Amino acid sequence: MGRLIQADRRATLTEITTRYNRGMQQSICEATTRTTLRRMGYNSRRPHRVPLIFTTNRKKRLQFARDHQNWTVEDWKNVAWSDESRLLLRHSDGRVRIWHKQNENMDPSCLVTTVQAGGVMVWGMFSWHTLGPLVPIGHRLNATAYLSIVSDHVHPFMTTMYPSSDGYFQQDNAPCHKARIISNWFL
């Protein structure tokens, strides 16, 4: 049964029982399957939802973490974070369930990735000290639109929160964030 679970974490109790019974002289019922799986330490739960992150970005995130692993809380207090997010107006949870043991809940085979789509898109920033502006984005975000947002909101926020110029503005590696006009503006 453990191999059946490892092969398909999303299999239903009925599917696991059916697969197990194939080729067996004596078949078992779903209650026996459930009891056996629980004794083995497996539970059926909804999986953790995590954003879809490609290998390149995983490596960049790991490098960022390594570069800043010795920062203190005081160092992090000087960082203002920004990002875009899509607020979904309608969402279907899909009712997906997976089988996992207690210590496996963050195993990649036990996760469901999410991709942003539909809804209302906003840009925002925050720091240790306060929340910054939340700006609605009415269209696809390109470098020109992003420049309009940062030029209107980043400088006022940073000069107010970090008047002695000891603050850092942190953004991710979205293509519009890395455009030449954005880099030139920050310089």
Tokens of 78: 């000087």
Distance CA 4, CA 20 (A): 8
The C-alpha torsion from 150 through 153 and 157 to 160, rounded to 10°, is 120
Residue 85 CB-density burial (10 A; 0-12 exposed, 13-18 middle, 19+ buried): middle
Q: Determine the pLDDT at residue 63.
A: 95
Residues forming a β-bridge with 136: 122
Task: Reduce the DSSP state of residue 66 to 3 states and report it.
Answer: helix
Distance CA 44, CA 38 (A): 9
Distance CA 9, CA 16 (A): 10
Tokens of 119: 């809804």
Task: For residue 83, give the amino acid letter.
Answer: D
**What phi, psi does 171 have (nearest 5°)?**
-130, 165
- Digit-by-digit pLDDT tens for the chain (187 residues) are 889 988 998 899 999 999 999 978 889 999 999 999 999 999 888 887 777 788 888 898 899 999 999 999 999 999 999 999 877 665 555 567 777 787 887 777 777 776 555 678 899 999 999 999 999 998 788 999 999 999 999 999 999 999 998 999 999 888 899 999 999 999 8
Which residues does 10 contact at the CB level (< 8 Å), separation at least 6?
96, 97, 98
- Give Cα separations from 84 to 106, 136, 145, 155 (angstroms): 25, 9, 12, 18
